[in-house]
Amino acid sequence: MAITYVPPDSTVGYLGPAGTFSEQALLTQPDLANAKSVPVASFADILFAVNDGELDYGFVAVESGQDMATAVGEVVAAGTDWLLMAAAVADFAPANPTTGKLKKEDLGTGWQLAMTRNPDILAEVVPAKRQPGLKVVGFALETEDVQARALGKLQAKNMDYVVANNPTERGSGFGAENHRVQLLAAGGMIWQSESRPKSELASALLAHLARSETS
């Protein structure tokens, strides 16, 4: 996740205690170098502290799709106004992960990698935890019938908005800095961007979402 700008001397809450993976992940973010990191007991407590003004920002680090499902479920259950699901979580994960090297002499002449399905966070976790008033924004990467397929996902997963993009079209691409996106709601297209850097697209998307909610 790219963090745009956090003012110096801001307070940023993370899942404690100190010295955990969460703190190490926070410290790798250059834009948080001058922020004061504060350990917090749970994901929900991070959200409450930000909402109450006790913290300026919250930082939740995850290592796996299951970790993200847990974190999102806790935050949604605690109550929040908006959920923007921009992370591209893998559909599958290794069924038997190992921290060491798999040696060929132990594997024999063949090897089958067993995979297990990750939770579909928008389809399974959010509906079970969703509180009244929550606005959900999903993202859909499609290479054909982009608008139709994105709108299908919006309806199937009960999203309020979906941001669609096609990485194969000119001005976009895997690993590229610039992208073109479409912001869609149930009624169709709200906004279509030119090819722009991701940081500019993020700000523009928030502005169009706010305008859509107030118009």
Closest CA to 179 of 190, 163, 165, 192: 165
Upper half-sphere CA count for residue 90 (Cβ side, 13 Å): 11
Q: Per-domain residue ranges for the chain?
A: 1-61
Pairing of strands 115-117, 92-94: antiparallel
- Taking the CA atoms of 52, 61, 157 and 73 in sequence, report the sign of the dihedral they define: negative
Answer whether residue 3 shows pLDDT above 70.
no
pLDDT for 185: 97
Task: Count Cβ atoms below 10 Å from residue 191 Cβ, excluding itself.
Answer: 16
What lies within 8 Å, CB to CB, of 79 at 6+ separation is: 47, 131, 134
Per-residue pLDDT reduced to its tens digit, 168-210: 998 888 888 899 999 999 999 999 999 999 889 999 999 999 9
The fold of 1-61 is D-Maltodextrin-Binding Protein; domain 2 (3.40.190)
**Mean pLDDT over residues 84-93, rounded?**
90
Closest CA to 182 of 211, 142, 214, 213: 142
3-state secondary structure (DSSP) of residue 126 = helix
Q: What CA–CA distance (Å, rounded) separates 23 from 152?
A: 38
Strands in 11-15's sheet, in edge-to-edge order, are 36-40, 11-15, 57-59
pLDDT for 5: 63
Q: 11 vs 21, which has greater pLDDT? A: 11
Could you give phi then psi for residue 15, rounded to 5 degrees?
A: -75, 110
Task: Count Cβ atoms below 10 Å from residue 82 Cβ, excluding itself.
Answer: 14
